Amino acid sequence: MSLKTECNSVLSRVVKGSERVPGVVAMVTDRNENIFSGAMGDRSVGGDPITEDTIFAIFSTTKAVAGTAALQCVEEGLLDLDAPAKTYAPAIGELQVLEGFGADGQPKLRPPKTDVTTRQLLLHTAGLAYEFFNERYKKLSDDHGQVPVTTCTMDAIKTPLLFDPGERWEYGTNIDWVGQVVEGIRGKRLGQVMRERIFDPLEMNEIAFTRTDAMKAKTASIHARGEDGFLTPTDLALPDNPEVDMGGHGLYGTVPEYMKFIRMWLNDGEGPKGRVLRSETVEWAVKGALVPPQKVTMMPGVIPELTHDAEFFPGLAKDWSYSFMVNSEAAPTGRPAGTIGWAGLANCFYWIDRQNGLGGFWATQVLPFVDPVSFNGYMDFETAVYSEMMAAKAA
Catalytic residue positions, numbered: 60, 63, 171
| Paired residues of 194 in beta bridges | none
Residues 276, 84: Cα–Cα separation, whole Å: 26
Residues 341, 339: Cα–Cα separation, whole Å: 7
Q: Where are the alpha helices (DSSP H) in the chain?
A: 3-14, 63-75, 118-123, 135-144, 154-157, 174-186, 190-194, 213-217, 255-266, 279-285, 372-394
**Angle formed at CA 352 by CA 209 and CA 51, multiple of 5 degrees:** 55
Q: Is 258 helix (H, G, I), strand (E, B) or coil?
A: helix
| Paired residues of 350 in beta bridges | 342, 361
Residues 341, 324: Cα–Cα separation, whole Å: 5
CB 91 within 8 A of CB 154: yes
Residue of 183, 176, 160 whose CA lies nearest to 89? 183
